[in-house]
Amino acid sequence: KPRKLGDWRVRYSYRVVAADAVVDALSHSDFHGGGTNSRGSEMGVDVGLAQGVALNFTYYNTQVETGLKDDRQRFQADLVIKFM
């Protein structure tokens, strides 16, 4: 994780969450609306802005695993401030 100005990190993950594989309440809420029966990619870039301050950009591109077509895309930006 970026900890100071100039630090950066690139992230990528691909996941498949089969139908009823986990309890919906415990699934990742940003990935395909937080449910199950989905697959897709998570891509991100994190940039350090100052000591303990980072800006994180994340893009989700997901599809339903089985059933009717339900493609979803989400982009989010997070400003993370770590208090020491």
Q: Containing domain of residue 76, as a range? A: 8-81
- pTM equals 0.85
CA distance 4 to 50: 5
CA distance 77 to 30: 12
Asked whether residue 51 is domain-assigned, the answer is yes
Given a cut of 80, whether residue 84 has pLDDT beyond it is no
Number of domains composing the chain: 1
Asked whether residue 3 is domain-assigned, the answer is no
pLDDT reported for residue 45: 98
Asked whether residue 41 is domain-assigned, the answer is yes
What amino acid is encoded at 67 in this protein?
G
Burial degree of 14 (CB within 10 A; 0-12, 13-18, 19+): exposed
From first CA to last CA, the distance across the chain in angstroms is 15
Nearest-5° Cα angle at 10, 8 to 11: 140
pLDDT tens-digit profile of 37-69? 899 999 999 999 999 999 999 999 999 988 888
Asked whether residue 38 is domain-assigned, the answer is yes
Asked whether residue 2 is domain-assigned, the answer is no
Asked whether residue 1 is domain-assigned, the answer is no
